[in-house]
Amino acid sequence: MVGLAVVLQPLTPHPVFPCVLPMRTPLAWFNLTYERRRLLTAIAGVSFAVLLMFMFKGFENALYDSQVQLLKVLNGDIIVVNRLKYTMFIPEQFARRRLYQAQAFEGVEAAYPLYTRDGAYWKNPETKAVRPLRVLAFNPNDPVLNIPEVLAKQEGLKLPWTAIVDEKSRAEVGPRSAGIVTEMAEQQIHVIGTYSMGTDFASANGNVIMSDQNFLRYFSDLGPEETERDLNTVDVGLLKLAPGADANAIAVALRQRLPNDISILTKPEFVAMELNYWRKNTSIGFIFTLLTTMSFVVGIILVYQILYTDVSEHWVEYATLKAIGYSNRYLLTVVMQQSLILAMLGFVPGYLIALVLYDATTNATGLLMNMTLGRALEILIATVSMCLISGAIAVRKVQAADPAEVFGN
């Protein structure tokens, strides 16, 4: 590995005072940048590879982030679900009695049942097209979700046939502001407001929140082919603990004492279980890792091409340097410096465009595409590695430059 100390030359400025040493002529920088058009093409290439990596990684993270959006706003320290429900997708309920049993334990202050239904058909008020949404229902007096707009609509939700709609639902759902009247599950519904959450795979088109009484009105009397619901079976149970209580200890105690038909998880464990399902049990992880790796390889090839072209075209000059007395090691550092400069110059535009596209995607799909410092750093490291690898391959060409051949005919 070429010594990093050699690559990072002391960058002291040109001397104003005699005591300050000027730096070595930055041959790598000049060779890379003196032809504007070629430089722009090179930067465009690297930026594109960077952008690809950002987008693929971004989609993967968006899918994961989106799945747990709802989970993160659940107002509970311990979550109770049917043992079979290892992901929110699975429509298994557990007996509400279990929540009463849990409430009796020390440290548990309150237990809130949350009812969900996937695939509730919502009619678009304008186009009259019907789309499935997910319904979340609970007693409006229970602070089940940590969303201010929901808490604000507590009283409104107690009225019959009312609901509030997630404003991040997809456009096909139609206009969703307060006052809209349309149909859900073939019954009339009044929209009294909106809130902001976001879609995921389980709620593909959007979410709707209503009271548990309204839940019964819509879903308890549906006819022979539909599964009917009542309030004795709960989809997700939330346990609120006393302040300062140890969630892990209480969860352990609950697991020991309560029967085995339910799973008891702390909220972080519940989120982790959901993420784990999407990582392990679907092809998402594999597909996106494959796509990101392919972008990485494309980037290596692009950068290698650029470096190789520089070395080939200036082969005679580099060989002359060798003849003058520069070592192979110096030329290696020139190539590696060029690859690092390309990495930096290509990363910035790629990052900026990625920010724009992340925003656009979030608006278009409702999925949560988020740029964090950690994710940007991850791709930065990948970009730098990509350029260093190309550099290491291109370097072999420079080593082969034979100074003796600069002479002669």
Positions touching another protein (CB under 8 A) are 15, 18, 21-25, 27, 30-31, 33-34, 314, 316-317, 320-328, 403-404, 406-409
d(CA 322, CA 326): 5
Question: Which is closer to another protein, CB of 18 or CB of 374?
Answer: 18
CA neighbor of 54 nearest in space, from 388, 370, 391, 385: 370
Q: Cα–Cα distance between 10 and 75 in angstroms, integer?
A: 55
CA–CA separation, 405 and 409 (whole Å): 9
Cα–Cα distance, 293 to 287 (Å, whole number): 10
Rounded to a whole number of angstroms, the minimum distance from the CB of residue 31 to another protein is: 5
The answer to whether 166 touches 199, Cβ cutoff 8 Å, is: yes
Alpha carbons 53 and 62: distance in angstroms, whole number:
14
Which C-beta is closer to another protein: that of 179 or that of 407? 407
Closer Cβ to another protein, 124 or 320, answer by number: 320
224/407 with CB nearer another protein: 407
Distance of CA 99 to the CA centre of its chain: 33
From residue 155, give the alpha-carbon distance in Å to each of 11, 17, 141, 161, 213: 66, 76, 9, 13, 13
Least distance in Å: CB of 33 to another protein?
A: 8
Contacts of 94 (CB under 8 A, 6+ apart): 80, 81, 82, 233, 234, 237, 261, 262
Given the complex with another protein, which of 356 and 407 has the nearer CB atom?
407
Which residues are within 8 A (CB) of 39 and not within 5 positions of it... i.e. 6 or more apart?
Answer: 32, 33
Closest to another protein by CB, 34 or 374: 34
- Minimum CB–partner distance for residue 308 and another protein (Å): 17
Contacts of 262 (CB under 8 A, 6+ apart): 80, 81, 82, 83, 94, 98
Identity of the residue, 229 or 397, whose beta carbon is nearer to another protein in the bound complex: 397
Token reading at 357: 């596209």
| CB of residue 383 to another protein, shortest distance in Å | 24
Give least dist CB 307 to another protein, A.
15
Q: How far is the CB of 371 from another protein (least distance, A)?
A: 36
* Cβ distance to another protein smaller for residue 217 or 314: 314
- To another protein, the closest distance from the beta carbon of 401 in angstroms equals 12
- Would strands 108-123 and 236-241 be described as parallel, antiparallel, or unpaired? antiparallel
Q: Give the pair of three-digit tokens for residue 371.
A: 């740029």
In the complex, what is the shortest distance from the CB of residue 39 to another protein, in angstroms, rounded to a whole number?
11
